[in-house]
């Protein structure tokens, strides 16, 4: 591919060395590769003209958002061009009566959250990378996060979408309505497609009334089974559980012992931990209801101890533990993100830990995650360099997940890192239909080639 071809795109093209380095990899930091050039369009028309040109000349384009992806989906290969959405950003409209906001795809999630809040509304999508990830990336990966249990995944927050297809066609379906049964839902096709079917340029997001009260509790339980009973009790008796996270005891101990975390609000000797958040409308009444419910849970044996955060700051410190940034400081950490029905997750976690420990007795295998959504994360550290162990670890973990009919990717996507295992969770017929859709929308295969399928 000649760079001269791209020069027709003018100022949006850059081959500056620092920029090529910055765009060489997503957060997974595997298979770093400087792209041939970085395209940074400022308008949808520029995205369209860039794709038109790349399509005409068969130039492979890798869409990039905030580069917080964990599956290698935004990492280029040799000779490919990156199209970064970082300049295509901004809140275009907040429509309070329709409870929607229209944003450009490169808008950081946190910026959109704050804008909604400023208008007295609430954007339910929330993930740990909120400061860096972009709305377009969230939609392209169908991000999950902390509030899925109450509001659903990114898919459920999207009402309208504008996408630029591989040949530069702008497909605009920026509807603000929930009800639109007029044939196939094309928007849903692009959600979770990881940049392989089109480049998302604008999104209409659904907003909710801003919760007036938010309470966060850190709870110790006897085991996984008791934790699930606790979750169901909280949902039954309070009805407004907006987050429910489980932490296996070695995870809690490691993270709270680590100096970078700086808090240990509850002793690390309990068998299991949960973190739950409740959104309500009447702060005092909600607090009393929650306290009474937790007291009943302790009496019934569904919980051993509970701490209710007394301030937003304390609630944040509970979340710091769950976000487990201390784990990321371990070199060569391998992260898994799998799902299965909640009833099976405890046994799955036990088997994974037992099998991995049998193979790497000196390793550390931490389990935590969104068990109400049937999703656990496993952060595995075998001690050695990643390349030596990654494949063997994938085989062990994804083999177990396949055996129980679970999903090898609950929220982070397939990218390149899980591509070889797509058939563990999707049938041959499903993968064939995915291929046909890809060919129909991107016949020259220029959009994010080698990703997902």
Ligand X SMILES: Cc1cc2nc3c(=O)[nH]c(=O)nc-3n(C[C@H](O)[C@H](O)[C@H](O)COP(=O)(O)OP(=O)(O)OC[C@H]3O[C@@H](n4cnc5c(N)ncnc54)[C@H](O)[C@@H]3O)c2cc1C
Question: Which spans of this chain sit near ligand X (rule: CB under 6 A)?
Answer: 26-27, 62-70, 73-74, 85, 105, 127-129, 133-134, 136-138, 140-141, 143-145, 194-195, 199-200, 411-412, 415, 448, 451
Distance CA 224, CA 422 (A): 28
Of 131, 23, 133, the residue nearest 68 (C-alpha)? 133
145/346 with CB nearer ligand X? 145
201/256 with CB nearer ligand X? 201
Min dist CB 59 to ligand X, Å, is 15
Min dist CB 200 to ligand X, Å, is 4
Of 303, 321, 317, the residue nearest 251 (C-alpha)? 321
User: Is beta strand 13-14 parallel, antiparallel or unpaired with respect to 81-84?
Assistant: unpaired
* Contact status, residue 326 vs residue 260, Cβ threshold 8 Å: yes
The DSSP annotation for 131-185 comes to TT-BHHHHHHHT--BTTHHHH--HHHHEEEEEEE-TTS-EEEE----S---SS--
* Contact status, residue 329 vs residue 260, Cβ threshold 8 Å: yes
Min dist CB 391 to ligand X, Å, is 22
Contacts of 69 (CB under 8 A, 6+ apart): 26, 27, 28, 137, 141, 412, 413, 415
Q: What phi and psi, each to the nearest 5 degrees, are found at residue 426?
A: -125, 145
Residue reference for tokens 């809040």:
117
Distance CA 367, CA 377 (A): 6
327/382 with CB nearer ligand X? 327
Min dist CB 5 to ligand X, Å, is 22
69/280 with CB nearer ligand X? 69
121/154 with CB nearer ligand X? 154
Sign of the dihedral defined by the CA atoms of residues 445, 447, 449, 452, in that order: negative
Integer angstrom CA distances of residue 374 from 157, 318, 355: 20, 21, 21
Min dist CB 267 to ligand X, Å, is 27
Residue reference for tokens 């369209």:
48
Min dist CB 201 to ligand X, Å, is 7
62/334 with CB nearer ligand X? 62
Min dist CB 133 to ligand X, Å, is 4
Min dist CB 181 to ligand X, Å, is 26
194/286 with CB nearer ligand X? 194
64/242 with CB nearer ligand X? 64
């Amino acid at each position: 591919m000649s760079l001269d071809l791209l020069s027709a795109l003018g100022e949006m093209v850059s081959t500056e060395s620092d920029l090529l380095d910055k765009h060489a990899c997503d957060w997974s930091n595997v298979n770093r590769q400087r792209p041939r050039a970085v395209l940074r369009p400022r308008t949808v028309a520029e995205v369209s003209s860039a794709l038109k040109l790349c399509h005409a000349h068969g130039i492979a384009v890798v869409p990039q958002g905030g580069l917080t992806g964990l599956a290698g989906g935004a990492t280029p290969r040799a000779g490919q061009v990156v199209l970064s959405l970082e300049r295509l950003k901004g809140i275009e409209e907040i429509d309070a009566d329709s409870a929607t906001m229209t944003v450009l795809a490169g808008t950081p999630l946190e910026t959109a959250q704050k804008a909604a809040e400023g208008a007295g509304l609430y954007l339910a999508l929330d993930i740990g990378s909120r400061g860096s990830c972009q709305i377009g990336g969230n939609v392209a990966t169908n991000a999950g996060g902390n509030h899925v249990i109450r509001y659903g995944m990114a898919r459920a927050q999207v009402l309208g979408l504008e996408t630029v297809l591989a040949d530069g066609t702008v497909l605009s379906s920026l509807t603000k309505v929930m009800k639109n049964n007029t044939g196939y839902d094309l928007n849903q096709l692009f959600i979770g497609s990881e940049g392989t079917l089109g480049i998302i340029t604008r999104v209409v997001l659904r907003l909710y009334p801003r919760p007036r009260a938010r309470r966060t509790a850190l709870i110790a339980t006897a085991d996984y089974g008791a934790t699930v009973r606790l979750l169901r009790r909280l949902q039954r008796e309070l009805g407004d559980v907006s987050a429910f996270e489980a932490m296996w005891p070695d995870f809690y101990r490691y993270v709270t012992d680590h100096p970078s975390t700086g808090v240990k609000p509850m002793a690390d000797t309990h068998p299991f931990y949960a973190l739950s958040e409740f959104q309500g409308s009447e702060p005092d009444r909600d607090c009393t209801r929650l306290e009474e419910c937790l007291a009943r849970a302790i009496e019934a044996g569904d919980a051993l101890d509970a701490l209710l955060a007394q301030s937003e700051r304390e609630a944040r410190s509970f979340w710091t533990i769950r976000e487990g940034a201390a784990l990321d400081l371990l070199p060569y950490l391998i992260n898994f993100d799998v799902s299965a029905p909640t009833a099976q997750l405890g046994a799955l976690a036990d088997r994974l830990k037992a099998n991995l420990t049998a193979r790497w007795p000196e390793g550390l295998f931490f389990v935590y995650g969104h068990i109400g959504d049937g999703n656990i994360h496993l952060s595995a550290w075998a001690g050695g360099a990643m390349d030596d162990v990654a494949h063997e670890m994938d085989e062990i973990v994804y083999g177990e997940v396949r055996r129980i009919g679970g999903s090898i990717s609950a929220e982070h996507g397939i990218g390149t890192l899980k591509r070889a295992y797509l058939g563990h969770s999707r049938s041959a017929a499903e993968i064939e239909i995915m291929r046909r859709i890809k060919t129909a929308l991107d016949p020259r295969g220029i959009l994010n080639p080698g990703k997902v399928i």
